[in-house]
Structure 1
Amino acid sequence: MIQVQDLKKTFVKDGNRIEVLRGLNLTIDNGDSLAILGVSGAGKTTFVHILGTLDHPTSGEVLFNGLDVFKWPAKKLASFRNRTIGFVFQFHNLLPEFNSLENTMMPALIHGMSRRDALARAETILHDVGLGDRMTHKPAELSGGEQQRVAVARALIMEPEILLADEPTGNLDTETGRKIEDILLDLNQRKGITLIVVTHNQSLAGRMSRSIGLRDGEIYTCG
């Protein structure tokens, strides 16, 4: 379970304080699927970065199964992030010099998994996302949808409990985007991974079990 309690995030720019998140409160159950909606600048990405422990809140708490991980040392927090949270972004951020298999293996190798085990796990995941015949292809040799599937596979290599996706279909055509949606929702339903998606896509939001909206750093709808 993720518990967000009076979460605030403030930036200072040119001497001015900018309140990006203004006291958010939210509970996300294990295995939930949640869409986060809102216009650009509403605070969605900042919120997801904090949920993913990529950024720290200015005040308030984010508890993972009752633990305030932001009180941990940086090394312990990084290990938690690597093991527990997977990330999929609008722009896949694949390393161009590595092929699909190598890109997928990367988080596991960084964590210290043996190359043999990382290879076996990456091969299985790439088959699961429909890329069994594209493992040796580099990003430039893949379509946009295939690149995003590699990004999903990479996010899954450490078997995370939570999958965060920031506009995962925003750079794809409708048909390809729908296939990525299907993969993400299947992972949520079949493996019980908690799925949190930032999206402008009302159709995708409608397929999630819950949705919230952000406006000016505050939650304005919840379903």
Structure 2
Amino acid sequence: LLLQGSWPALERYLSSAQLLVIDSPDQVRTQAVALGRGTKRVFAILALLVVLLVFNITPAPIACFLCACLTVITGVVRLPQIYRGIDWNTVLLIGAMIAPARAMEKSGAAEMIGNQIVNLLGDFGPIAVLVGLFMAATLITQFISNTSTALVMMPIAFAAAGDMAVSALPMVMSVAMGASASFLTPFANGVSLMVYGPGGYKFGDFWRLGLVVLIWTLIVTVIVTPLYWPFH
């Protein structure tokens, strides 16, 4: 049950031995923050951001930058507060990965990885190639965006299906799943980058936890994909 009420009422009714309290009122009270003077302006700016993104009025980076500027212009936050809130480790991390990611795309290294895996596994049947495409897409997507990975790997998936005279749909789905499995590094996943600094994560946290999710994703993909999208 999710309960709402005054602090005295919560303390009185939650003291019953028949209830198991997950978060005690005292603990919640210390974590609660009262709404400040700029609350209405923040909600208005947030609503504007949602409208800009939902109706695709402007690109997402421009919409976010515009609303961030509005928080300063309206006096909700000051520039020194923004400077203190920036996680410079994440900024440097993003900047340092731009060059390697662009190099993988422009040099053809990503395509070469995919081709080599398909050539090595082609003789072992479509399941082996499906696994290889998944692993190749997974390897590449740890360093570049999932969209770029899919663009690089999709032609390879179609070519592999054509060479083996099987349906391209399971190969394409394997690439799509592999390109989305950017669990081992915080580079290519925007959500991981957002929580990297504020969450106090270390680089090693991602591969230790992400490896379990990655293996499970691979197992599900290999089992389920041929069932819904047969090779023949």
Q: Which has the higher contact order (CA 8 A, sep 6+)?
A: 1
The structure that has the greater radius of gyration is: 2
TM over 0.5: no
TM-score (ref. length: structure 2): 0.25
TM-score (ref. length: structure 1): 0.26
